[in-house]
Amino acid sequence: MTKTQKQLDKRIRQQLTLACEQIKDIVEDFSFLTHSADLNNLPSKFKVSCYFIDDIALEQAKQKNQFDYIEQLICNALASLNIHIKANAISFSKQP
């Protein structure tokens, strides 16, 4: 990994951490998020996984249309780094 890639990876992690904390403040029973990325092939190889504490919390967030809010927050956080992902790069599930 080059120095530039390391710096980008650090900024990505910082932005996603901030987004995660904002989501936790608003969305009940949101647990955490993770990401995977090929820094040589952004944004097409960028994935974000969002986890809720259980299936009930996941279903409640879906019924309250909170997925859109989460997607927008994550997309905006990454857009601040000039990484533009589509909402289908973000997945939702219960925590493993």
* pLDDT tens string 42-95: 999 999 999 999 999 999 999 999 999 999 999 999 999 999 999 999 999 999
Q: What is the pTM of this model?
A: 0.94
| Nearest alpha carbon to residue 90 among 12, 54, 64, 75 | 75
Q: What is the pLDDT of residues 6-52, one digit of tens each?
A: 999 999 999 999 999 999 999 999 999 999 999 999 999 999 999 99
